[in-house]
Structure 1
Amino acid sequence: MEQQGKTCIEFDYTSFLGATGSKKWTFLEAFATIAPIFGMMWKQNIAELSQPEDRLWDAALKSMSSRQSDESNLVMLAKLAKHEGIHELRVVMPYSLDLKQIEYIESRSKLKVDTTEQDVLNLKF
């Protein structure tokens, strides 16, 4: 997908963790279970009109879970961001990750994680 002028997108992981616990079905998701072809076409049209950060947020809510480890979620988030054509992702964390966690993310995502700011991870694609 085209990046639409965004070079760096910020993702608030703390807000994401709060949102996963209160996720409710949208009309579109319910409709898509009844009429999958119409739901798919509708989703595609909406996705084309939305911003990359909104698409990333929606994809994260569908693909990641607060029941998974932070490392696994962040690897998935990097994949989703890359798919959206995002060139740089700034992830604001509720806490700092230790070296082992960062190494896990780097090895699985094949990216260098910059942690120069406390509680912020910078990923460049």
Structure 2
Amino acid sequence: MTNIIEFDYSEFLADSSKQKWTFSQALKSIIPTFGAVWNASVHNPTPTKERLRQEALQVLSSHINDESNMIRLIRLARIEGITDLHIKLPYTLDEDQVAYILENTHTEISQSNEDVDLLYVHLKAR
């Protein structure tokens, strides 16, 4: 079953710059605890797209590079059972950035920059 979620990374960057971090949130950005995120989402009736956005605000950081954030986002998506992510970016990733993400995830990636910069990520079954 295909589960496609759109994620606006540009919006995330704007939201995260407004957020004041607690010590535990800062720690989560350095050492993401995906098990805790998964446990919290098991009984959560919030729609998957909103849950992913909330988890991203806790785990991703505007203080680290975009490739690392994409890897963390993909891992969160996998935990949520998402098969495809359409990520709206503020710019197109270069080949090295995409290669780095591919090396660290089990995905297929393509990009489009027609109207907006989009990164299409298909999470392969493990």
Structure-to-structure mapping, 1:40-119, within 5 angstroms: 44=40, 48-115=44-111, 117-118=112-113, 119=117
How many residues align structurally?
A: 105
Q: Aligned equivalents of 1:82 and 1:75: distance in 2?
A: 11
CA drift of 1:110 comes to: 2.3
The one-letter code matched in structure 2 to 1:93 is L
The one-letter code matched in structure 2 to 1:124 is H
CA drift of 1:6 comes to: 6.9
CA drift of 1:87 comes to: 1.2
TM-score (norm 2): 0.75
Corresponding residue of 2:28: none
Give the number of the structure whose residues are more often strand, by fraction.
2
TM-score (norm 1): 0.75
Which consecutive aligned stretches of 4+ in structure 1 deviate over 6 angstroms post-superposition? none
2:3·2:81 contact (CA, 8 Å) conserved in 1? no
Q: Aligned equivalents of 1:96 and 1:65: distance in 2?
A: 19
Query: Which has the higher mean CA deviation after the structures are superposed, 8-17 or 45-54?
Result: 45-54
1:47·1:55 contact (CA, 8 Å) conserved in 2? no
The one-letter code matched in structure 2 to 1:121 is L
Percent identity reads: 33
Q: Which runs of 5+ in 1 are unaligned?
A: 30-39
Corresponding residue of 1:122: 120
Q: Which runs of 5+ in 2 are unaligned?
A: 26-35
Bigger radius of gyration: 1
Q: Aligned equivalents of 1:15 and 1:100: distance in 2?
A: 24
